[in-house]
Amino acid sequence: MTFLRCIQNRFGVLRLLLLGLVLVHGARAVHTDPSTGKLVRYSVRPRANSVTGNYLPPPTADAWYKAPEGWQSAKPGDVLRIREHAYPTINIPNAIDTFQVLYRTSDSLDNASWSVATVYIPKSHRNCLPGSNATKSGCSHAMVVYDVPSDSVSPDAAPGYLLQFQEPYGEMRDMLARGWFIMVPDYEGPEAAFCAGVQAGHATLDATRAVLKVAGQFGLEMDRVKVGMWGYSGGAFAVGFASELAETYAPELVIDAAVVGGSSPNISKVDERMNKATTAGLFVTSLYGATVQQPEAHAFLLKQLRTEGLYNKTKFLSALTMTGAEVLGAFWQEDIFNYLENGRDDFDNPIIQSAIDRDAVMGLHGTPRIPSFYYKAVYDELSPVNETSVMIDDFCRHGANILFHQNTIGGHNDELWTGRLRALDYLTAKLEGKVGNSSGVKMDIPATGCVTQTVSLPLETLYLLPDWWWTTGPGLGQGLFPK
């Protein structure tokens, strides 16, 4: 580890340089080309050759990625279609195979909808797969529903498509190393409704229902299965809504743990903080996505977009074909109010604000009954920590079971990395019955009720190195991450 510490000490700017690539709102749109080890945008697909293999087409060009005839008559959580061995090429370490499930769900207005979930099978499960003649041992009994931040209003930026190239953070790799199935839902649905919270919650819960109906066919030990959910930032938005809605929308569904990191309870307030900043592009996608299923608000938004000048409707709507990272670059530090005829007054219009209140504010859709771990940086620049603590206090007054960590060091992007090991420790405790301490912090997990802990954990710069560094590059075998 001396060599690695030397790198950390000599290159103190490494964190700043890499944060530009792995902003929590853009990292899912950057991947490593397996043939070169270079970081490129997801929109630049790796070359298909003997090294990198082949890839599924984007969802809008994929015939499988369409609901079959008569799908509206199915019930939420019903399986509509299964694609075994889904990824022609898998670039996520510790995954041996994948399958996809197209399932029925409900949008934010409870209209019939559908989406896709992709399941990643750990290498340790190889002897448990159908057709295996080996002795069954170490078969998986745990599945984590991993809501990846999407931050895009393009259907072709769906996680189930993008993750075949590379995962952005290494969290899937670490969970697969623990022998867990990982299920990633395209929780924005076919309209890519970014920040439509009820849609995201429904799609997450229905994906869990659907996959649990078929996972036994792939060897998951259903007689002792445990299920967890995990999301950070945009992914936390989806997990948070799923947790709130679970008791009323999917009362039969047993979920053993939920992990919610870097939550932003009120999108309206977050939009104001992102405006004129490096994250201004997410103001565009969140405003469009939060209204796309609200007919009156969406019509109002489109009507109020300027048709002339630099800040015009055509540029605003160009976000519909962009990944999360691409939209950041396109609207870098812009004042998004300039796109509206009446500026901020249009954003504050009751038509827009009521749509946001209905579909993009956490804490209003029920008390989570799932044991949960929330973690957030005290100095989160997108959403003040008190917005989350007030929400959690209300949950706890109504009987929730929550461990809440407030980290006094770092901001929103830092906590993505520093919170990882604590999140894994919590999931290990709930899914495996083991008390983990890989982060060096004792997890004071309450059996009932709530506990708030203040921690002071600095960012480990080495975590910001791209995944290929540890799996095929100079960091291979250095022992920081499980292989």
Which residue, 191, 152, 195, 183, is CA-closest to 42? 152
Q: What is the pLDDT of residue 120?
A: 98
Mean pLDDT value of segment 6-29:
33
Q: Which of 233, 268, 286, 439 is catalytic?
A: 233
Q: What is the pLDDT of residue 28?
A: 36
Domain co-membership, 244 together with 280 = no
Domain co-membership, 175 together with 68 = yes
Domain co-membership, 24 together with 145 = yes
Mean pLDDT value of segment 378-405:
96
Which residue, 428, 382, 380, is CA-closest to 405? 380
Is 13 domain-assigned?
no
Is 402 domain-assigned?
yes
- pLDDT at residue 294 above 60? yes
Q: Measure the CA–CA gap between 31 and 41, rounded to whole angstroms.
A: 6
Q: Which of 380, 414, 425, 467 is catalytic?
A: 380
Tell which wins on pLDDT, 135 or 455: 455
Q: Measure the CA–CA gap between 84 and 102, rounded to whole angstroms.
A: 12
CATH code, 133 = 3.40.50.1820
Q: Which of 298, 324, 359 is the last residue of a domain?
A: 359
- pLDDT at residue 33 above 60? no
With beta carbons less than 8 A apart as the criterion, state whether 195 and 25 touch. Answer: no
- pLDDT at residue 26 above 70? no
Residue 333 CB partners (closer than 8 Å, separation 6+): 276, 277, 278, 280
Six-digit token string for 289:
């996505």
Partnered with residue 102 across adjacent β-strands are 81, 116
Q: Measure the CA–CA gap between 375 and 405, rounded to whole angstroms.
A: 5
Residue 166 CB partners (closer than 8 Å, separation 6+): 31, 32, 34, 91, 92, 467, 468
Q: Measure the CA–CA gap between 55 and 53, rounded to whole angstroms.
A: 7
Q: What is the pLDDT of residue 470?
A: 54
Residue 285's domain comprises 268-359
Six-digit token string for 322:
């962009």
Tell which wins on pLDDT, 376 or 46: 376
Q: What is the pLDDT of residue 330?
A: 94
- pLDDT at residue 473 above 80? no
Domain co-membership, 367 together with 340 = no
Domain co-membership, 374 together with 329 = no
Which residue, 193, 158, 229, 243, is CA-closest to 360? 193
Mean pLDDT value of segment 255-265:
96
The model's confidence at residue 129, banded by pLDDT at 50, 70 and 90, is: confident
Q: Measure the CA–CA gap between 148 and 19, rounded to whole angstroms.
A: 18
- pLDDT at residue 477 above 60? no
The model's confidence at residue 17, banded by pLDDT at 50, 70 and 90, is: very low
Q: What is the pLDDT of residue 195?
A: 94
Which pairs with CB-CB distance under 8 Å and at least 24 residues apart come from 429-435?
430/226, 430/228, 430/256, 430/257, 430/371, 431/142, 431/144, 431/180, 431/226, 431/227, 431/228, 431/256, 431/257, 432/142, 432/178, 432/226
Q: What is the pLDDT of residue 437?
A: 73
Domain co-membership, 466 together with 403 = yes
Domain co-membership, 190 together with 319 = no
Q: Measure the CA–CA gap between 250 and 220, rounded to whole angstroms.
A: 21
Query: Rounded to the nearest 5 degrees, what angle is found at the Cα of 245, between the Cα atoms of 239 and 248?
Result: 150
- A 10 A CB-CB count for 38 gives 11
Domain co-membership, 282 together with 383 = no
Q: What is the pLDDT of residue 130?
A: 79
Q: Which of 319, 339, 359 is the last residue of a domain?
A: 359
The reply to whether 233 belongs to the active site is yes
DSSP collapsed to 3 states, 428-481: HHHHHCCCCCCCCCCCCCCCCCEEEEEECCCCCHHHHCCHHHHHCCCCCCCCCC
Mean pLDDT value of segment 317-343:
94
- By mean pLDDT, which of 26-30, 56-60, 127-131 is the weakest? 26-30
Q: What is the pLDDT of residue 173?
A: 92
Tell which wins on pLDDT, 90 or 475: 90
Query: Helix %, strand %, coil % for the chain, to 5?
Result: 40, 15, 45
Domain co-membership, 202 together with 339 = no
Q: What is the pLDDT of residue 440?
A: 78
Q: Which of 186, 264, 412, 467 is catalytic?
A: 412
For all residues of the chain together, what is the average pLDDT? 86
How many Cα neighbours within 13 Å face the side chain of 268? 19
Q: What percent of the chain has pLDDT over 70?
A: 83
The model's confidence at residue 237, banded by pLDDT at 50, 70 and 90, is: very high
Is 482 domain-assigned?
no
Length in residues, the chain = 483
Query: Rounded to the nearest 5 degrees, what angle is found at the Cα of 286, between the Cα atoms of 168 and 385?
Result: 75
Domain co-membership, 95 together with 234 = yes
Six-digit token string for 30:
């950057």
Distance between terminal CA atoms of the chain?
Answer: 16
What's the pLDDT tens digit per position in 408-463?
999 998 999 899 999 999 999 999 998 777 777 888 999 999 999 999 988 766 55
Q: What is the pLDDT of residue 227?
A: 98
CATH code, 311 = 1.10.260.130
Domain co-membership, 222 together with 293 = no
Q: What is the pLDDT of residue 12?
A: 32
Domain co-membership, 260 together with 274 = no
Q: What is the pLDDT of residue 137?
A: 67
User: How far is residue 124 CA from its own chain's centroid?
Assistant: 24
Six-digit token string for 25:
């709102």
The reply to whether 380 belongs to the active site is yes
What's the pLDDT tens digit per position in 48-100?
443 446 999 999 999 999 999 999 999 999 999 999 999 999 999 999 999 99
- pLDDT at residue 138 above 80? no
Q: What is the pLDDT of residue 110?
A: 96
